[in-house]
Amino acid sequence: MCRNIKILFNFDPPATEDEVRAAATQFVRKVSGFTKPSAANQPAFDAAVADITRSASRLLSALVTNAPPKDREAEAAKAHARAVKRFGGRGKRA
């Protein structure tokens, strides 16, 4: 899985449209191999991002769980702790 795509399901507050679009953009970048597509490929790239954003939004709306919603700040702190463990204390988190 692409490391830059974050889990969006079961958070309080729910994922925003911008977060879903950002994940879709990362997915299309990964699949296409383009960070910034050429002018000739931009329409296809944009259409793919829009399609995946719609599909991901439908998926998130349809999913159900009995688990309590996750707290964004707590999950970010856990991710930061994992990164420090993995990469050491280099740099400072903003």
Confidence of residue 2 (pLDDT cuts 50, 70, 90): low
| Residue 94: C-alpha distances to residues 6, 64, 72, 80 (Å) | 18, 33, 16, 11
pLDDT digits (tens, 9 = 90+) for 12-67: 999 999 999 999 999 999 999 999 999 999 999 999 999 999 999 999 999 999 99
Query: Does 5 fall in a domain?
Result: no
Confidence of residue 88 (pLDDT cuts 50, 70, 90): confident
Query: Does 39 fall in a domain?
Result: yes
Domain count, the chain: 1
The whole model's pTM is what?
0.80
CA dihedral 67, 17, 79, 93 (to 10 degrees): -150
Q: Which residue has the higher pLDDT, 82 or 3?
A: 82
Which 3 state secondary structure label does DSSP give 41?
coil
What is the rounded distance in angstroms from the CA atom of residue 61 to the CA atom of residue 9? 9
- Residue 83 above 80 pLDDT? yes
Query: Does 24 fall in a domain?
Result: yes
Which 3 state secondary structure label does DSSP give 70?
strand
